[in-house]
Amino acid sequence: MNKIDSVSDMVLQSKKLVVFTGAGISTESGISDFRSPGGIWDRFDPSELNYQSFMASEAGREKYWEFSKSLWPEIADAKPNPGHYAIAELYRLGRLDCVITQNIDSLHQKSGVPEEKVIELHGTLKWVICLECGRRYPREQIQARLDSGIKVPRCDSCGGIMKPATVAFGQPMPERETRQAESRAAACDLFLSVGSSLVVYPAAQMPLTAKDNGAKLIIINLTPTPHDHYADIVIHEKTGPVLSQIANQVKAKLKGD
């Protein structure tokens, strides 16, 4: 039995499948990786884009918004790829408990996974939030202000500091989402890690939490990860083709039943 067969059987046997996704699934939709050569950190200095710099000065906020302004068009134009659609298919087949994602692009929701089934550990770029009164703005609305020449947008309601609803370096992780992710990871019986290098904590702890609580662990990533030796099955290939094969086999086996 090959690895795809084995994984599809594990998915069929699972009562609580959690899929965990990282940048590797988004790069297959044409979204730039932050860390790879030619990625976003080759164009911007991450040390200038931390939460403390953002909160400390108008210059820090201006730099952050410049970075975010350049990032948005790529995110806005991105389309889900076969990997996203395969995960959405597993949802439609009744095999998915939830998706925990490190990505900020909302491509899981675009592919058909309901909002309530997606836990966004690092936030989302599709909203901008006022840090003082909590008002939320659609990103398109704020992007139009940036495109008009405004360098640091302010809240219409209270004049407060606004920030993309993503987690910056040095910013606390969102409490509700982090607790929810930890709880779902601990309660699942199959944890499928897809396109994550598994080096960014606390997100990278999730597969180990699942494994420690008795779940099977599958890792699909183009390159090796520090957690490979914990996994029951490791596949070092592109996520889209692999997930598509898994979803197709699950569907075929369900029809065969």
Radius of gyration of the chain (CA): 19
User: The tokens 């899929």 sit on which residue?
Assistant: 19
Catalytically active residues are 122
Amino acid (1-letter code) at residue 30? G
Question: Cα(13)–Cα(250) distance, rounded to whole angstroms?
Answer: 10
What residues form DSSP beta bridges with 100?
Answer: 20, 119
The token pair that represents 168 in the structure block: 């910056």
User: Is residue 89 a contact partner of residue 251, using CB atoms and an 8 Å limit?
Assistant: yes
What sign for the dihedral angle of Cα 225, 105, 33, 81?
positive
